[in-house]
Chains A and B, each alone.
Chain A
């Protein structure tokens, strides 16, 4: 038992009090003086990407002594509610990152400052350098609400050793990444037939994540979640059903993929037991650190009638209500990040400025430049105010369908009905209600 006598307790208490006061005093002073503008910069870069970003922040702070950028990182899954609550309470950071799917929610809540004045200003930015399909997601009634920093695109990683062992090589003995449905199935089957390794069975393919894998495939079948005006739910349309049925066939009919796991099947690829896997470009650093794995990167094969894959972007947003000095400093930092997005790309991202992608430096980034080939046809998930709620329904339907607990059609029908219910709660009338 720990026993403290009174004088000891008193001393401890005084010590703690002193420490607390010193702490408060220090944080109050901070570095620099009155002439420095502090920009708080919030994001969800908690992985290796955070280290890359931190290095960029340091570089900016060194080059701009009059500005001090303070970065705050939190995990994406709790990031948005913290940001939202901070925004409601008027304590939003001067600068923050929004992923494309979350963008609409914050834009509707009037948290984001339009940037046209800065873009057209003296220290402006040529918006035509950005890819059209990327920039249109942050454009609202002619106003730019953010500067897209990157595109994280879903692509294919493949195990080159397994490809060689299965004999899927070109005339020089180099592993050959499949681009069509037939080639993909052939490769997957032959890798599965390699049989057991010391760690367990070998698989041709694995669903590393449900949502982005399936959405990527669905876009190849021409699937849409909503009609153009957003009032009709088309998540159970034949195109979506076909995509889910194809995914299911990989597990049931072709038996090239193990039953789905909610997450973490990525480990299987790192263990060298999986031939092909679809994952975001941001997983590349994970593989590069693992020197025992000889991996290749390529666009995902085309399974449907058209090319397609999933992507998202990190968008740099300025908070509303900044004074002139803060806004100027924040803009300078935004431009710095955009101009230097090749540094950012090194950590596993694709820049969304065409001029930067054309550089030799980018072409030498192997996985990034391979995945970037898909940028022109990759698709974002539709961003609306109830995005997280409808995605939950989509995920639920995928789980049920791919575990064969119900048919893909039935699972997606249920999802559609539930999503309509959610829309009504948000005051959006689904088209089905018009007749009544």
Chain B
């Protein structure tokens, strides 16, 4: 260990109020040398950085490169640089716009429903005695733990309009719903299932957020007459905002990437009404082997998600 002072201009240790001397920074023993002191932190980051670069940044950059070439695995022609042609094709591709529309429809229905329901249930469960909260939280969280393949197959049977469970239960009421056979209904059915399947995670996060709000605020509020609905609007909601933002952003990003539900339950049907953008990307790249075009579509989705996320951060920013 060298006793060499890296910063000779540093002032000498000052005696403190109680006569104790604070040690100058260079007197604290570091494991080894200057290099480690300066870059040691990065060493701890290294495992993550390696994964981050090799599985996120690299594929992202490579994907962008792919989106600029005409890479069709089965085409007799060799892949060539085509510039923005893939993006131009997307703009004129009616299937792409249909997929975008289907995705927007899903996001527009699923996000408010999931968040609204999760918030409602979080507040309701939170008002229960502590002992019983765990049970309800678990019940609502449970569907999330089921893999989408299993959940999807079961719901597919529920939804069968002729031989399924739901219509059999609704029949005494004289209701018959074309759950998955009508292009207008199919997305609603997917959303309904998704709410059941995905509401658990936001619920748990929101409940944790509720627990962080000090009870003293409620007590003080109660004195000023903030009870019931007002208590929720003026105390709970503002204090929950950072958590809510987090949950909303997460849910929107997740919803744009919806895939499993439609892939299993409707296979994109009927008449492609539920073929969302992820599904179309999957079909394009892995069933039709159009890697270049598929990458371009992925990048377009990426841009949409980033845009939406930025807008939300702006909207929710603390004023």
Contacts and interface: CB of A to CB of B under 8 A. Distances in A.
Interface in B264-319: 266-267, 269-272, 283, 286-289
A263 B269 CA distance: 10
B168 A261 contact: no
A105 interface: yes
Residue of B75, B156, B160 with highest tally of chain A CB at under 10 A: B160
B131 to A, nearest CB: 17
A388 B163 contact: no
B203 interface: no
A268 B73 contact: no
B163 A267 contact: yes
Contacts of A105: 74
A11 interface: no
B161 interface: yes
B157 A399 contact: no
A426 B74 contact: yes
Nearest to B289: A84
Contacts of A389: 287-288
A267 B157 contact: yes
B171 interface: yes
Contact of A262 (B73, B74, B77, B266): B266
A430 interface: no
A427 B75 contact: yes
A400 B283 CA distance: 20
A203 B161 CA distance: 14
Q: Which of A105, A201, A263, A386 has the most CB of B within 10 A?
A: A263
Interface residues of A, number: 38
Given A262-B180, A264-B157, A273 B163 contact: yes
A56 interface: no
A216 to B, nearest CB: 20
Given A258-B162, A403-B270, A199 B168 contact: yes
Interface residues on B, range: 20 to 34
Contacts, number: 79
A260 interface: yes
A262 B267 contact: yes
Contacts of B47: none
Given A261-B180, A389-B288, A200 B271 contact: no
A81 B181 contact: no
A263 B288 contact: no
Given A109-B74, A396-B272, A400-B271, A259 B181 contact: yes
A249 B178 CA distance: 20
Contacts of A273: 163
B269 A399 contact: yes
Nearest to B266: A262
Nearest to A274: B163
Contacts of A392: 283
Contacts of B288: 386, 388-389
Contacts of B266: 262
Contact of A426 (B75, B156, B164, B180): B75
Contacts of A271: 163
A399 B271 contact: yes
A385 interface: yes
A405 interface: yes
Interface string B148-167: 00000000110011111000
A88 interface: yes
A430 B170 CA distance: 51
B31 interface: no
A-B complex: 3 closest residue pairs judged by Cβ atoms:
A81-B286, A268-B163, A262-B269
13 contacts: A78-B286, A108-B74, A200-B163, A201-B162, A203-B162, A259-B178, A259-B181, A264-B156, A265-B163, A273-B163, A396-B272, A405-B271, A427-B76
Given A388-B288, A425-B72, A427-B75, 5 more contacts: A88-B73, A267-B163, A273-B163, A426-B75, A427-B76
